[in-house]
Amino acid sequence: MANRDVTPLAMSKFLISGTGPMTTTGVIAGGYFATKYAKAQPGPIWPDIQHSLIGLGVFGAFSKQLSRAINVPTSTLDKYFQGAYGKDGFFIINLLSRSASRGTIELSSPDPNDYPLIYPNYFEKDIDMKVLIEGK
């Protein structure tokens, strides 16, 4: 949601009548698809790719906020979105639904207040990247 959409008027419309820009999650549409890799597996065909169409406005601290969410440097995002600032747009996000790679989560100490050790092992299995590329 763009900074220009978060106003006292928008908030009151949402609270009073459930209308306005604050009623959306941003996800406009989505779908699940089975790539050739999913179709080649024995048994039922389960989708292995999810596409999400997400509406957004590229305003204010957009690059900074997105940078934290996807772990890409703000400077890279600023360059990428340079012609889009001040405009509305959308993303189509391609997500892996059935990863073959497996990560682990371990306790870092006996203290329950300590953060756990998280090893996601993204793309440990080559098939995950192949599925993402096929699903584009």
Per-residue pLDDT at 83:
87
3-state secondary structure the chain: CCHHHCCHHHHHHHHHHCCCHHHCCCEEEEEEECCHHHHCCCCCCCCCEEEEEEEEEECCCHHHHHHHHHCCCHHHHHHHCCCCCCEEEEEEEEEECCCCCCCEEECCCCCCCCCCEEECCCCCCHHHHHHHHHCC
Long-range contact set of residues 83-86: C-beta below 8 Å, sequence gap at least 24: 84/58, 85/58, 85/59, 86/58, 86/59
Per-residue pLDDT at 81:
87
Tell me the domain boundaries of the chain.
Answer: 25-134
- The most confident of the ranges 24-28, 82-86, 109-113 is 109-113
Structure confidence at residue 112 as a pLDDT band (50, 70, 90)? very high
The pLDDT tens digits for 92-108 are 889 999 999 999 999 99
Q: Rounded mean pLDDT of 108-117?
A: 96
Give the residue among 63, 52, 123 at the shortest CA–CA distance from 90.
Answer: 52
Per-residue pLDDT at 88:
82
Residue 126 half-sphere exposure toward CB, CA atoms < 13 A: 0
